[in-house]
Amino acid sequence: MSKDLNKDYWPIEQEAVLLIKTELSAFLQKFKSKKLSFPGVKVGTPVTISLQDTYFDTSSKELGNVQVALRLRKEQGVLLLGIKGRDRWTISGVSRIEVEEPWSANGLATILHYLDFIGITLTHPGVPIGSSEPVIILGLTGLNPIQDRSLIRTLWPILDTAEREVAFLALDAVTLNLSNALVKYSEIEIELVDGPISLIKNLSDNLLYNHSDSLQPWPYSKLQTGIAIESLSESLDAGNIVNENGELTVGGIGQVEQFLQKIASTN
Chain-centroid distance of CA 125 in Å reads 27
> Residues 230-242: pLDDT tens digits?
999 887 655 678 9
Query: Does 1 score more than 50 pLDDT?
Result: no
Query: Does 3 score more than 60 pLDDT?
Result: no
Q: Which of 81-95, 176-190, 246-260 has the lowest mean pLDDT?
A: 81-95
Cβ atoms of 155 and 46 within 8 Å: the answer is yes
Which CATH number is 12-266 given? Answer: 2.40.320.10
Whole-structure pTM value: 0.90
**What is the rounded distance in angstroms from the CA atom of residue 124 to the CA atom of residue 140?**
7
The dihedral over CA atoms of 120, 123, 129, 134, expressed in degrees to the nearest 10, equals -60
Question: How confident is the model at residue 51, as a pLDDT?
Answer: 97
Q: For the chain, what is the mean pLDDT? A: 90
Of the chain, the percentage scoring pLDDT greater than 90 comes to 69
**What is the rounded distance in angstroms from the CA atom of residue 236 to the CA atom of residue 258?**
15
Domain limits of the chain? 12-266
Decide which of 33 and 260 is more confident.
Answer: 260
Cβ atoms of 97 and 115 within 8 Å: the answer is no
